[in-house]
Amino acid sequence: MSDAPFDLIDARDAFADSDWFHVCRQAQTPYVVVRSGETSADVLWDYVTLPPSCDALLRGHFASLENNARAIFERFAIPESQLRIKPTLICFDRLPFDHAKRAAAELHRLISTYLPDARTVSRGVPLPFESAAPAGDGTLGEPETPGLRRLWVEEQNRASSV
């Protein structure tokens, strides 16, 4: 396995039972994959490898998570790209392959900032994602106009239930 914080898979392959899935589940780390097709790639993060205790933490910071994920998407998307986001699943669909790998690394880093670690477990507060600034060489230029892309966002029920 590589040192990348994501797995590269072919779009025709199943990935729910891959070695990477088992590594992420065992380590309770974000499960991010890049599914490459013939002309583009999709980036997927799924909550499934994280412990149930992270659910409330991610949902409680969904607005921030959504804004930061959207910023990553905007930096790497092209007009044909699509964003799907909810508290337990984030997908960047139809990105150029090289952009998808960089977006996957940033998405993994983003999700990790919302998870408990040795410094935050006792307080139960995630480390904030400090910046949505582009990583890498900065050669991507300005993002395309978002109005040319389709966006799907699952709204969170904001009413508290007791």
Query: What's the pLDDT score for residue 92?
Result: 98
CA distances from 126 to 2, 76, 91 (A): 27, 26, 22
Query: What's the pLDDT score for residue 15?
Result: 58
Q: Which helix (H) or strand (E) holds 97?
A: helix 97-113
Query: What's the pLDDT score for residue 55?
Result: 87
Query: What's the pLDDT score for residue 82?
Result: 97
Q: Is the pLDDT of residue 159 over 70?
A: no
Buried b (16+ CB within 10 A) or exposed e, 95-131: bbeebbbbbbbbbbbbbbbbbbeeeeeeeeebeebee
pLDDT-derived band at 158, boundaries 50, 70, 90: very low
pLDDT-derived band at 42, boundaries 50, 70, 90: very high
Structure letter (DSSP) for residue 149? S
- In degrees and rounded to multiples of 5, residue 29 shows phi and psi of -115, 165
Q: What is the mean pLDDT of residues 6-34?
A: 83
pTM comes to 0.70
* Torsional sign, CA 101, 60, 128, 148: positive
pLDDT-derived band at 117, boundaries 50, 70, 90: low
Q: Provide the percentage of residues in the chain whose pLDDT is more than 90.
A: 42
Q: What is the mean pLDDT of residues 39-44?
A: 95
Query: What's the pLDDT score for residue 9?
Result: 83
Strands 7-10 and 31-36, bridge-based pairing: parallel
